Amino acid sequence: YDTISSGVGSMFKKLNILDEKEKILRETAKEVNFPLTKEDKKLIQNSIDQLTYSQIEEYEKKYDLRPGMGLAFPQLGLSKRIIIIVHEYEDGKFDNYVVINPKIVSNSEEIIAAEAGEGCLSVNRDVEGHVPRFARVTVEGYDESGNKIRIRAREELSIAFQHEIDHLNGILFFDRINKKKPFYSESEIRLI
């Protein structure tokens, strides 16, 4: 870990994010039991810090971070069904989502894709192509205290939830790119 002192008075530890070639990223992560361990809680907080900093240009440069809005525990080398999403819903304003044992319980029929394609903190190369995703999903799971939560996500946030939940099932985003037809036109799929 590179330890960096953040202005908050605590130490910011840069996470060690695994590369796509690591086997754990192709495995199904295990369900998590409550209560969470101190280590898990600390890792969740570190992940929130890093994802937030990575989306603020000044910190992204200062700490040499790759911008990202989501992380799943398997990317940190842990077979646990925990995802973290830090969504910038307005300039400089973030919503944090920590979902343990998440499941998509419903989805829209409408399919969308990120026009620029998707990226992943574990994939250190450019991958061309659109990744078809549901425009809206409802996700159920548990918060850090073990309370049941339900989140309705749409558009960019919906894509992020599907991307992170895929990680828990050993799926990387490029697995979902159609090899024969990597790009879609606006008339075939709504690009956001």
Strands 3-5 and 111-113 come out as unpaired
Q: Phi then psi for 104, rounded to 5 degrees?
A: -85, 115
Residues 125/127/133/136 CA torsion (nearest 10 deg): 50
3-state secondary structure (DSSP) of residue 53: helix
**Identity at 70, one-letter amino acid code:** G
Of the CA atoms within 13 Å of residue 152, those in its CB half-sphere come to 1
3-state secondary structure (DSSP) of residue 134: strand
Q: Is 164 a catalytic residue?
A: yes
How far apart CA 46 and CA 130 sit, in angstroms, is 30
Catalytic one of 20, 115, 164, 188: 164
Active site residues: 164
